[in-house]
Amino acid sequence: MQVVNEAVALAEDVTSSHFKYSSSQWRRSRYDIRTIGQLQGQEITDRAFAQIIRYMGQPPSSHLSSSRFDFYKVCLQDHTILQALSRDPRLDFFPLMVYIVTHELVHIVRFSRFIQSFEAYPEDRVQEEARVHSLTGAILDTARVSGIEAIVRAYRESPDSLGIPLDQMAKGA
């Protein structure tokens, strides 16, 4: 968990500076990052390293529909990540976590700036996934994380080069 927390902190740092987000803007994009012990039911999948579930949030103090907001839960699939680490000698845990979390944050920035619609995501998936990998690679090129180059390179070759899609999206109930 310590490694995951460090990876999340680094990913937030490089992503927010890339998009020139202030910390208050960053706090307004509402998301949470969770590992498998904190997931349930449809939040768990065997078909990706991570899954973004969009939930509708509402402040407890308000019942106005205008106060509703999108809330993104990044569900890290520890079991598929560990399987990839054991079958692929190019991969190390920390750089892989940094890559995955940065990639998910890029998706969330693009959803929350309405550059990409969550609703349209299934149809646009292939193109959007390629764009997000390319942005993730550009962000991480300067991050000086040992072992990250191999992962950036693998994803530049193909979004499937680690044997499983990086992520998938779903709507929360």
Site string for Zn ion, 124-143 (x = CB under 5 A): -----x--x-----------
Pick 95 or 104: Cβ nearer Zn ion: 104
Pick 44 or 169: Cβ nearer Zn ion: 169
Measured distance CA(158)–CA(166) in Å, rounded: 11
Q: Which of 42, 167, 169, 172 binds Zn ion (CB under 5 A)?
A: 167
Number of H helices, E strands in the chain: 6, 4
Pick 59 or 172: Cβ nearer Zn ion: 172
Region binding Zn ion by CB under 5 A among candidate stretches 36-44, 55-63, 86-94, 163-171: 163-171
Q: What single letter denotes the amino acid at residue 141? A: D
Pick 12 or 167: Cβ nearer Zn ion: 167
Return left, alpha or beta for 127; rule: phi > 0 is left, psi -120 to 50 is alpha, else beta.
alpha
Q: At a CB cut-off of 8 Å and minimum separation 6, what does 51 contact?
A: 43, 45, 74, 75, 77, 167, 168, 169, 170
Return the residues of window 6-35 that contact Zn ion according to CB under 5 A.
none
Query: Quick one: DSSP state of residue 159?
Result: T
Instruction: Tell me the closest approach of the beta carbon of residue 132 to Zn ion, in angstroms.
Output: 5
- Interface positions with Zn ion (CB under 5 A): 129, 132, 167
